[in-house]
């Protein structure tokens, strides 16, 4: 089972990302479970969202305490939430940043494998707004291969209607621009 935890801020689309990816996995014949964790926070407050994907039925019904992957939509959350603190030893961090692998390892002290993408820039270029959820999905898919890019077309179309094509383009662009570290440092 692959367990993924998304770290974002209200309004960035972490919860939507989990929903879209769960639907894509189900469309591929997999089992998926996604849910958010937030209270009455307002836009901009830290938000967690959880996703499990497996080839077998998922019986767990709890938060993901030790994920295989953490997806960080907003790097300012690294100091607040410490998203990598309980990441599995061989885990992966998918991070929205314009920094290099070396800079990220040095600045944050990460010892896990990284997948980096400047999702903010891609979202502004393709979507015209700095909402990074679909760009981060492209990075996650590039780093993990959890689903195919094409599997997200239908969920995007259902969710975003006429804006689906732009979101799909942003996701594809992020997929292409994501830098994935092959081994841990």
pLDDT in tens, 25-59: 999 999 999 998 866 657 788 889 999 999 999 99
Low-confidence residues of the chain: pLDDT under 50: none
Q: Look at residues 101, 171, 168 and name the one whose alpha carbon lies nearest to residue 142.
A: 171
- Evaluate whether 140 touches 180 at the Cβ level (below 8 Å): no
Beta bridge partners of 47: 8
Burial grade of 67 (CB within 10 A; 0-12, 13-18, 19 or more): buried
pLDDT at residue number 155: 98
Domain 2-180 has CATH 3.40.920.10: yes
| Displacement of CA 107 from its chain's centroid (Å) | 21
Q: Look at residues 9, 17, 34 and name the one whose alpha carbon lies nearest to residue 174.
A: 17
pLDDT at residue number 40: 63
pLDDT at residue number 38: 67
pLDDT at residue number 11: 85
Q: How far apart are CA 103 and CA 124, in angstroms?
A: 23
Q: How far apart are CA 37 and CA 48, in angstroms?
A: 5
Q: What is the dihedral of CA 171, 148, 19, 79, to 10 degrees?
A: -60
pLDDT at residue number 154: 97
């Amino acid at each position: 089972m692959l367990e993924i935890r998304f770290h974002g801020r209200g309004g960035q689309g972490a919860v939507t990302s989990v929903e879209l990816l769960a639907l894509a996995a189900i469309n591929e014949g997999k089992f998926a479970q996604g849910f958010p964790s937030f209270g009455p926070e307002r836009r901009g407050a830290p938000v967690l969202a959880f996703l499990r994907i497996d080839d077998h039925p998922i019986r767990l019904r709890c938060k993901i305490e030790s994920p295989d992957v953490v997806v960080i939509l907003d790097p300012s959350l690294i100091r607040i939430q410490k998203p990598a603190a309980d990441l599995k030893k061989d885990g992966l961090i998918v991070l929205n940043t314009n920094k290099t692998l070396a800079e990220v390892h040095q600045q944050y002290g990460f010892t896990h494998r990284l997948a980096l993408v400047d999702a903010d820039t891609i979202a502004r270029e393709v979507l015209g707004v700095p909402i990074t959820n679909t760009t981060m999905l492209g990075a996650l898919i590039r780093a993990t291969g959890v689903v195919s890019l094409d599997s997200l077309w239908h969920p995007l179309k259902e969710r975003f209607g006429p804006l689906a094509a732009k979101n799909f383009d942003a996701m594809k662009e992020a997929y292409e621009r994501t830098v994935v570290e092959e081994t841990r440092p």
